[in-house]
Amino acid sequence: MTHILAIDQGTTSSRAILFDASLKVISSAQEEFRQHFPASGWVEHDPADLWATAAATARAAIERAGIGAASIAAIGITNQRETTLLWDRATGRALHNAIVWQDRRTADMCERLKAEGHEAMISARTGLLLDPYFSGTKLAWLLDNVEGARSRAEAGELAFGTVDSWLIWNLTGGKVHATDATNAARTLLYNIAENRWDEDICKLLDIPMQLLPEVRDCAADYGMTRADLFGHEIPILGVAGDQQAATVGQACFQPGMMKSTYGTGCFALLNTGPDMVPSKNRLLTTIAYRLNGQTTYALEGSIFIAGAVVQWLRDGLKIIRTASETQPLAQKADPLQDVVMVPAFTGLGAPYWRPDCRGAIFGLTRNSGPAEFARAALESVGYQTRDLLEAMRADWGSAGGAVLRVDGGMAASDWSMQFLSDILGAPVDRPKVTETTAQGAAYLAGLQAGLCPPPDQISGQWALDRRFEPKMDDSLRQAKYARWKKAVAATMEAA
Ligand SMILES: Nc1ncnc2c1ncn2[C@@H]1O[C@H](COP(=O)(O)OP(=O)(O)O)[C@@H](O)[C@H]1O
Ligand SMILES: O=P(O)(O)OC[C@H](O)CO
């Protein structure tokens, strides 16, 4: 048994990648699925789509490799985090669409809990903030709005889970209801200092604890897949939320190491070691990974719109046909025009946490066109990352994130990565393997299977594709960043 299958269930698509024991990619498959927007600020996925695309891509990756399922030693699962599902334990059917992490429907509930003075207690225990981003208020909404759900939950008939738990449940034919510590840490219900579900918070949100999955390490036994799925039972041995899996895939195993993933949004995680560092600057404290019962913590900055701003140029404004066209356009932009875009399409995440904000563009002239829009869009991602880095350094000291390791679809853009390095005034490293999320999940499963070496021995395998060094003049860097801060302040003021 020489292979490891990673299932990466993301916000817009499911991917499956088959690795060999040295974590080299052998084959892969990807399928997009439908996004549902039933009301303004609401985002849902059909749970059946999540499962069907995950299972179909897993099968396709195995077929493409031309190997039998019997030679797969382990499955690793990684997933979009916070997205909330509720299902019937007897039938395995979901009671409602999954409420996606981007969904803002519980903004009022969060405001009310804040006004009642609960945020400090919740933050101290979960490391999170009272924002609709996290699962807890989404689950409370489901229990309040799906008929009969609360009484059935109290009777123990229902199960809650993030996407990892939903996949594990389906892969094992309903035998295992479990999650890992990193996914649990995103629910708003999990005490990350004591590593247990928090009774007081569950009581406050009126969530019956019978709903909750068992929490395991990231490298652990999550049961066997049904034999009929792949023609052979395969053990599930690794689980982590996608941003944490990318942290592992980027080999950020030492305190002070930091990665930033540029997909739909951008999520930067700084390894803080065994210390749970509370943020004084509106970052999240979260679990990077838990191995052999030992928790490694991270500070996280979450930006909701990164690559999505490029998608907006393509699908909304229709000024580009493919994402890569942004680079030649940005290069053509008029250097004398100072167009700044604040892409707060679904509010602002860290460090501002303003779900009520909406996007804004400043500095337009009659000469502003697609090139200036493209440059402003790409620059907005760099500025938002600098906001996170400033907060991280204020929380953790200047050694934090001295070099930034990047991945995700947008990291392919050389122009964006050069601007990122320029505006941060720090080197930006892009690895050879950009499928770091899947690689992280495969590593965790391989570690448990005994195929992969422990973290201190694997770090050396990380290979650099390109280092971007800052080239921008310091006075220009400061002037540009000051203008961004002004634009953000004006956007918040206008909300
Ligand atoms: N060359 C590029 N330049 C700028 N953005 C890009 C480029 N290639 C991809 N992207 C952006 O990256 C995102 C896709 O990255 P991916 O890691 O697949 O995201 P996700 O896992 O969130 O779906 C898209 O939002 C896309 O706009
Ligand atoms: O699916 P992605 O890659 O956009 O990641 C989503 C994050 O996990 C949300 O917290």
Closest-approaching ligand to the CA atom of 243: 2
**Ligand 2 mutation target, pool 32, 101, 186, most atoms within 8 A of CB:** 101
The CA distance from 440 to 431, in Å, is: 13
pLDDT tens-digit profile, the chain (495 residues): 689 999 999 998 999 999 999 999 999 999 999 999 998 889 999 999 999 999 999 999 999 999 888 899 999 999 999 999 999 999 999 999 999 998 999 999 999 999 999 999 999 999 999 999 999 999 999 999 999 999 999 999 999 999 999 999 999 999 999 999 999 999 999 999 999 999 999 999 999 999 999 999 999 999 999 999 999 999 999 999 999 999 999 999 999 899 999 998 999 999 999 989 999 999 999 999 999 999 999 999 999 999 999 999 999 999 999 999 999 999 999 999 999 999 998 889 899 999 888 999 999 999 999 999 999 999 999 999 999 999 998 898 866 667 899 999 999 999 999 999 999 999 999 999 888 999 999 999 999 999 999 988 887 788 899 999 999 999 999 999 999 999 999 999 998
CA of 295 to the centre of ligand 2 (A): 22
**Ligand 2 mutation target, pool 242, 266, 410, most atoms within 8 A of CB:** 242
Instruction: Quote the pLDDT of residue 400.
Output: 62
Whose tokens are 């066109």? That residue is: 369
Instruction: Quote the pLDDT of residue 110.
Output: 95
- Could you give phi then psi for residue 288, rounded to 5 degrees? -75, -45
Number of alpha carbons in the 13 Å side-chain half-sphere of residue 108 = 3
**DSSP-assigned states of every residue in 375-409:** HHHHHHHHHHHHHHHHHHHHHH-TTTTSSEEEESG
The residue nearest atom 10 of ligand 2, judged by CA position, is: 81
Q: Please list every protein residue whose CB sits less than 6 Å from any atom of ligand 2.
A: 10-11, 80-82, 101, 241-243, 263-265
Whose tokens are 């990164």? That residue is: 306
* C-alpha closest to that of 164 among 85, 228, 231: 85
Element (H, E) at 290: strand 284-291
Instruction: Quote the pLDDT of residue 401.
Output: 62
Spell out the long-range contacts of 142-150 with Cβ–Cβ below 8 A and sequence spacing 24 or more.
Answer: 142/84, 142/86, 142/95, 142/96, 142/99, 143/86, 143/206, 143/207, 145/96, 146/86, 146/95, 146/96, 149/86, 149/95, 150/206, 150/208
* CA-derived radius of gyration, the chain: 22
Annotated binding site: 11-13, 15, 81-82, 133, 242-243, 264, 307, 311, 409
CA of 102 to the centre of ligand 2 (A): 9
Q: Are 391 and 283 in contact (CB under 8 A)?
A: yes
Domains and CATH numbers, the chain: 3-242 (3.30.420.40)
CA of 82 to the centre of ligand 2 (A): 9
List Cα–Cα distances, 463 to 4, 39, 438, in angstroms: 20, 44, 16
Residues 12, 17, 21, CA angle at the centre, nearest 5°? Answer: 150
Annotated binding site for sn-glycerol 3-phosphate: 11, 81-82, 133, 242
pLDDT tens digits along 315-365: 999 999 999 999 999 999 999 999 999 999 888 989 999 988 899 999 999
CA dihedral 57, 58, 63, 69 (to 10 degrees): -170
Ligand 1 site, residue 264, Cβ cutoff 6 A:
yes
Q: Are 232 and 68 in contact (CB under 8 A)?
A: yes
Give the distance, in angstroms, between the CA of residue 90 and the centroid of all CA atoms in the same chain: 30
Decide: residue 483, CB within 10 A, 0-12 exposed, 13-18 middle, 19+ buried.
middle
Q: What ligand 2 atom has the least distance to the C-alpha of 11? A: 1
Provide the ipTM.
0.97
Q: What is the pTM of this model?
A: 0.93
Closest-approaching ligand to the CA atom of 286: 2
- Neighbouring residues of 362: CB distance < 8 A, sequence distance ≥ 6: 339, 340, 341, 342, 487, 490
CA of 435 to the centre of ligand 2 (A): 14
The CA distance from 237 to 172, in Å, is: 12
